[in-house]
Amino acid sequence: MKVLFVCTGNICRSPLAEGILRDKLSKRGTDIQVDSCGFESFHKGDPPDQRALSIARKRGIDISGHASRLFTIRDFDAFDRIYVMDASHYGKLMRLARNETDRRKVDYILNILHPGKNIPVPDPWYEDLAAFEKVYNILEPACEKIALELDKNFSGHDR
């Protein structure tokens, strides 16, 4: 089982979600793989934003090892579930999807908590540190629910 988080720059929201979920899964001892990527190349190869790094560090999570990368069509084959942060990412993936199998893998991350509501995770990039803390607090319970469901369904098996 492989999970991908997608945002715009892959330096704020999706690396945070990746770090939070990986931390939860490692504590549960599962072998589910987690990655993140984005759509804009402005920060390609860069580590996460300082503000994302510091909020994660405050909660005991080190996301400094991540390097921003772009979504590629191969990600549809490589990943089983693809969680987006907002409607722009969802729209892009729906345009890129080659078939129903691709489309079915994609969902808004907050739909795990609020099914069908398509609530966005706000972009903190132009905001202050408090906005990153808010994003963390939005992502954390969503990742908890994802971890719970994955653990229930895929525990101990890489399938």
Can you give the binding site for ligand 4NP, defined by CB under 6 A?
7-13, 38, 40, 42-43, 123, 125
Smaller CB distance to ligand 4NP: residue 1 or 84?
A: 84
Torsion of CA 40, 46, 48, 49, to 10 degrees: -80
Is residue 143 annotated as a catalytic residue, yes or no? no
Is residue 84 within 8 Å of 90, Cβ to Cβ? yes
Residue 152: CB atoms within 10 Å: 8
102 tagged catalytic: no
Nearest-CB residue for ligand 4NP: 9
**Residue closer to ligand 4NP, measured from CB, 13 or 24:** 13
Nearer to ligand 4NP, 10 or 30 (CB): 10
Shortest Å distance, C-beta 43 to ligand 4NP: 6
Q: Using the 8-state DSSP alphabet, how is residue 129 labeled?
A: H
Residue 101 CA to residue 134 CA, distance in Å, equals: 33
**Can 128 be counted among the known catalytic residues?**
no
Query: Using CA atoms, how far apart are residues 75 and 95, in angstroms rounded to an integer?
Result: 14
CA dihedral over 52, 85, 17, 82, signed as positive or negative: negative
CB of 41 to ligand 4NP, least distance (A): 9
Q: Name the residue nearer to ligand 4NP (CB basis): 1 or 9.
A: 9
Determine which one of 12, 13, 37, 143 is catalytic: 13
Catalytic residue among 46, 80, 102, 123: 123
Residue 128's CB is within 10 A of a number of other CB atoms, namely: 10
Report in angstroms how near the CB of residue 29 gets to ligand 4NP at its nearest.
29
Smallest gap from residue 154 Cβ to ligand 4NP (A): 27
d(CA 42, CA 157): 37
* Active site residues per annotation: 7, 13, 123
